[in-house]
Amino acid sequence: MTVAVRTQNLPPIKLIRNVPKEEYYVPGHRTCAGCGPALQYKLVAKAAGPNTIFVGPTGCMYVANASYLCTPYAVPWMHSQITNGGAVASGIEAAYRVLLRKGKREGELPNIIVMAGDGGSTDIGLQAMSAMMYRGHDALFICYDNESYANTGIQTSPTTPYGSNTTFTPPGSAIPEGKKLFPKDPPQLVIGGHPAVKYVATASVAYPVDLINKVRKALNVQGPTFMHIHAPCPKGWKFDAAKTVEIARLAIETGMWNMYEWENGEYKYQFRPKRYKPVREYVKLQGRFAHLSEAHIAKLQAFVDAKLKAPGIPVEVPAPPPRAQA
């Protein structure tokens, strides 16, 4: 009887030149120039290697990749609804457990990776994600965060930052800052209530070696793992497509994005600058924040300052305004 485990020990890499040359997310898709989500997908696929199954909930990384009956995946891939990435992955994992046990498949449990957007992870897909974590399925759930429903034309999602201009939060005379709410904190949603989870990490397209090593670490863990990957979107955030990595790096340097690992209850932080740059430097490069006043930027700065006291720990945010004012 084969017990469905992965004994693999995907090794960490040291330098960018050690990134595997093999592509499992191959060219030929139709993502936008400078697409952050596509860049992280390529790196995740390289990190995971050939013994991998991807589940792709509806989102940019479905629509822009799997077009006209063609896909860029050199490993098995399955579409799921935007609602149910975690549940479909749970089923695949359960199937492999029983098929390996019964000798109907050979080898080891494959890497099962859900590649979900912020909506498919933290909004409409939250229930399925949470249940996969709760039940302890051996799969990695990745939330690639481009901070909006980008594929449908840049609508606000739970991770869209305060003050963003999206097509559902347009700034106007009555609502000058655009988005009024502060974002959900996806890794904290997972860490806070899922005892079966032993490894959670944030990553960014700005630091590919770190990203690859975190993916590998997550895949080496037996049981459910979660990664929150910052993936800037030139179209949605309105910045020059050549600056995706620069924007991603600035997010970390200003504290808008925090890099950390959470392993068995312990936090480890990466890329923490000695002195954070003001969020203004991040904001001024992006059209989605172009309408913000000094007061709005100060509010965003205050949120970041509070968060930086202990990255990874939820901060108090201003309560949403009463409906009459909203």
DSSP secondary structure letters along 165-187: -BTTB---SSSTTS--SPPP-HH
Provide the binding-site residues for another protein, judged by CB under 8 A: 50-53, 55, 62-63, 66-71, 73-81, 83-84, 87-99, 101-102, 104-105, 107, 110, 127-128, 130-131, 134-135
DSSP 196: T
Pick 226 or 289: Cβ nearer another protein: 226
Q: Give how far the C-alpha of residue 312 lies from the chain's centroid of Cα atoms, to the nearest Å.
A: 15
CB of 108 vs another protein, minimal distance in Å: 10
Residue 210 has, within 13 A of its CA and on its CB side, a CA count of 19
Pick 134 or 276: Cβ nearer another protein: 134
Pick 15 or 69: Cβ nearer another protein: 69
Pick 87 or 201: Cβ nearer another protein: 87
What Rg value do the Cα atoms of the chain yield, rounded? 19
Pick 77 or 144: Cβ nearer another protein: 77
Spatial distance between the Cα atoms of 326 and 310, rounded to a whole number of angstroms? 30
Residue 217's CB: how many other CB atoms inside 10 A?
18
Pick 79 or 238: Cβ nearer another protein: 79
Q: How far is CA 79 from CA 88, 110, 144, in A?
A: 9, 17, 16
Q: Are 236 and 167 within 8 A, CB to CB?
A: no
- Positive or negative, the Cα torsion across 144, 145, 151, 152? positive
Residue 10's CB: how many other CB atoms inside 10 A?
19
Pick 117 or 312: Cβ nearer another protein: 117
Classify residue 104 as exposed, middle or buried by CB count within 10 Å of its CB (0-12, 13-18, 19+). Answer: exposed
CB of 59 vs another protein, minimal distance in Å: 12
CB of 126 vs another protein, minimal distance in Å: 10
CB of 136 vs another protein, minimal distance in Å: 11
What's the start-to-end Cα distance of the chain, in Å? 60
Pick 132 or 251: Cβ nearer another protein: 132
CB of 1 vs another protein, minimal distance in Å: 10
CB of 149 vs another protein, minimal distance in Å: 17
Spatial distance between the Cα atoms of 88 and 25, rounded to a whole number of angstroms? 21
